[in-house]
Amino acid sequence: MELKINWEHKRVMHAIERMWLRGISVKEVREAILKGKKVLQKETGLIQALFKRYTVVYDEKVYHKLGIRKVFPITVKVI
């Protein structure tokens, strides 16, 4: 299944600001989403990917017929 990260959504601006402040690249965010340990936040329904020294919180939509996972990053946290 193909992964597409939507960097154009209005909620993504917060994640981009956090990435810039913490020195985390787009490549590292993609790697965290693909390889990180996933935890579902019960209160919000968002997914949290724990990887190396940081955490990426995102929302995900899966389109099975098209074979696409669309990801909307919300924020990036340093552990």
Percent with pLDDT over 70 in the chain? 100
The token pair at 58 is 């995102």
| Whether residue 1 has pLDDT greater than 80 | no
Domains of the chain: 2-78 (3.30.2310)
Q: How does DSSP assign the chain, residue by residue?
A: -EEEE--SSTTHHHHHHHHHHHT--HHHHHHHHHHSEEEE-TTT--EEEEETTEEEEEEEEEETTTTEEEEEEEEEEE-
Query: What integer pLDDT is reported at residue 24 of this predicted model?
Result: 93
- Express each pLDDT in 14-48 by its tens digit: 999 999 999 999 999 999 999 999 999 999 999 99
Query: What integer pLDDT is reported at residue 26 of this predicted model?
Result: 92
Query: What integer pLDDT is reported at residue 43 of this predicted model?
Result: 93
Query: What integer pLDDT is reported at residue 2 of this predicted model?
Result: 86
Distance of CA 34 to the CA centre of its chain: 9
